[in-house]
Chains A and B, each alone.
Chain A
């Protein structure tokens, strides 16, 4: 009897998820960060086949974080990442260190207008030959993001809107804010730069809870350096984002 009830509840949950059109329930494909604190918060990992918002609090930080996520998606899908660039500054030799080698990167440079970027992103999201699409969009209206989300759900390609300023991230599955964090000295205590570190803030997330973590990048893996996650009681945006 209990299992039957459970079965009905599960079915209803699935049904609701379909109505909400949430990829995590549709495809079930997620990308694990390898950091349990984040993966559990996201309910298994970053949902693929959707639109995510990456906001940079410091120049370069969001680029690196996006590069390492897309690099891993590309590796799993064995397909390239299309990076739609506003200017001409993305530098491939630096991306290699974050696991995005040049053979997995297709660069579209010098697209200055948001309208063109969104058009290109939508075209690219319709192509299942890609693993992920990164678009350096400045402003994206909710309608435009919804269009991208629908295209991403259909093709299973994951999209990242890479921004450098404050925005509300409406319509995206998750919204992240990434700032550089002071690096720790390396193990030998040598002077000079340590391994890169970021303060990663999950600002909003459908079906998940926001949080803040300090992550380090070492030997091709993410490490949790500090868990600054806020407790449930202090989550003012929960209602608005759920």
Chain B
């Protein structure tokens, strides 16, 4: 039936049946054995929204009123439910699962999909991989069941309903659609990812297992239960394709190294990073690409993922340069009790033509030297701190400058007008001063700045700068109202020091003018 030949996929579903309660019990060990319910408010009632296995054994289930639950189980521990934290945990787990495969998707509130196509053999097979996953997650206090199948739908179903005592279910590859149907037949219909009302309706008709649906015609099923039932069935059997959207874009440039024993010594981490860098640079070279951003993720054995990142001002594939930039950052990497795996990825690359290197062995030719300096400074302080400046067409002094790429060499096309005085230092936040200006629209004769008087000896001005009404008001510059003009005066005091003052707004006899110091001249 499949019209399109596509490579067979192997999808694993990780199901966390007790995600919410496990998350709470991770912090308080007592809740592992004691009945625990998570409650949230629904309308005026406080409902149980999740229970742990111990509470379930005593007959509690989500949807119960909390008062009823307390009555049934007197020693019930109750904690508030925090779905946002649950989701954040699942997101962290998805990030962590990238350790196994780059292609991880969040399926629903309690399930992750891992695309294991072509990666399982690295871990000794699908079953061994899942065993490893479940083992590690158990150490983090999470109960997990896992299923593998050709389709996400089938994996989802077997992860929930067909796992063995080791919490793993592996469906062998489907030979044909009929084979797939036979494999899914014994599973309950709830395994088809249906909404609860459809599941209830099906059980009302006595259709409990997936196999019960097969004798019925498709038209009848659609007529009674809507499109979604058949869509889910077809997705599970692989008749209908179901694309997964990965949680993170899969970086094409990625090198991974796992360790038999966790490593922690700085020189070990450095050496491992160096090996990864060599491998990555080699691959980039064969594709004529260079990296602009490189991330190193360390998977610690306590489950945390820590990372450092370097940026490059231009595409680069020299591992020695990368290592020099990584060196100070690796020192900040806290390995905790050890690192299980390192992943070096280049999420941002640009094409970089092949060049002959090693002829002169001089890494510093032409502007490469400046680029190396910008890289070193940028990785320590942030690339946004380094800039060339260029004129921008605006009369507002704080808007007249735009920051540009530090490696752009050419002179700007336009230039600031030279016939107006502009200060050498412009205060990002003008400082209020008290000025004495007896004549309206004349420069002040005296002003106090930081409690010191400055007697004005000479002055130029006013230079009136009106607001740019076509722009939204600048929230970073709350010193003048959006409609107010500024009258700027260049002022020299009796020592020769020069200041750039402005009065906010027009002169009005009925109110005190507001004066600000905005800059200093040389």
Contact = CB atoms under 8 A, between A and B. Distances in A.
**Helix, strand, loop or mixed for chain B's interface?**
mixed
B459 interface: yes
Interface stretch (B165-173, B333-341, B490-498): B490-498
Contacts of B519: 89, 91, 94
Nearest to B382: A110
A242 interface: no
Contacts of A129: 364, 367, 369-370, 373
A103 B411 contact: yes
Interface string B64-78: 000000000000000
A140 interface: no
A119 B380 contact: yes
Interface stretch (A1-9, A13-21, A25-33, A60-68): A60-68
Interface in A119-158: 119-120, 123-124, 127-130
A95 B426 CA distance: 11
B522 A98 contact: yes
B504 interface: no
Nearest to A111: B381
Contacts of B490: 193
Q: Which bucket holds chain B's interface residue count?
A: 35 or more
Contacts of B494: 182
Interface string B469-496: 0000000000000000000001010111
A170 interface: no
B279 interface: no
Contacts of B217: none
A122 to B, nearest CB: 11
Given A90-B425, A93-B400, A102 B389 contact: yes
Contacts of B492: 182-183, 193
Interface in A79-93: 80, 82, 87-93
B406 A102 contact: no
Contacts of A181: 496
B436 interface: no
Nearest to B423: A94
B369 A183 contact: no
B161 interface: no
Contacts of A191: 458
A192 B459 contact: yes
A92 B388 CA distance: 10
A37 interface: no
A60 B370 contact: no
Given A60-B425, A97-B422, A180 B411 contact: no
Contacts of A199: 496
B459 A91 contact: no
B390 A196 contact: no
B101 to A, nearest CB: 40
Contacts of A108: 377, 381, 385-386
A94 B380 contact: no
A90 B425 CA distance: 5
A106 interface: yes
A63 B373 contact: no
B221 interface: no
A241 interface: no
Nearest to B520: A60
Nearest to B491: A193
Contact of A59 (B374, B377, B381, B520): B520
A227 interface: no
B109 interface: no
Nearest to A107: B387
Interface string A155-199: 000000000000000000000000111110000000111101111
Contacts of A63: 424-425, 520, 522
B418 interface: yes
A95 B401 CA distance: 12
A94 B397 CA distance: 11
B443 to A, nearest CB: 9
Contact of A192 (B370, B410, B411, B458): B458
A96 interface: yes
B415 interface: yes
Contacts of A90: 424-425
A67 B424 CA distance: 9
A101 interface: yes
Contacts of A198: 496
A40 interface: no
A179 B494 CA distance: 12
Given A94-B522, A107-B386, A130-B370, 15 more contacts: A89-B428, A91-B424, A92-B401, A93-B397, A97-B418, A102-B389, A103-B411, A106-B387, A106-B388, A107-B403, A123-B376, A127-B373, A179-B495, A193-B492, A196-B522
17 contacts: A58-B496, A61-B497, A63-B522, A64-B424, A82-B373, A91-B401, A93-B397, A93-B422, A96-B416, A105-B389, A108-B381, A108-B386, A123-B377, A129-B369, A182-B492, A182-B494, A192-B458
Interface of B: 364, 367, 369-370, 372-374, 376-377, 380-381, 385-391, 397, 400-401, 403, 406, 409-412, 415-416, 418, 421-428, 457-460, 490, 492, 494-498, 519-522
Q: Which 4 A-B pairs rank lowest in CB-CB distance, beginning with the nearest? A: A64-B522, A60-B520, A180-B496, A91-B426
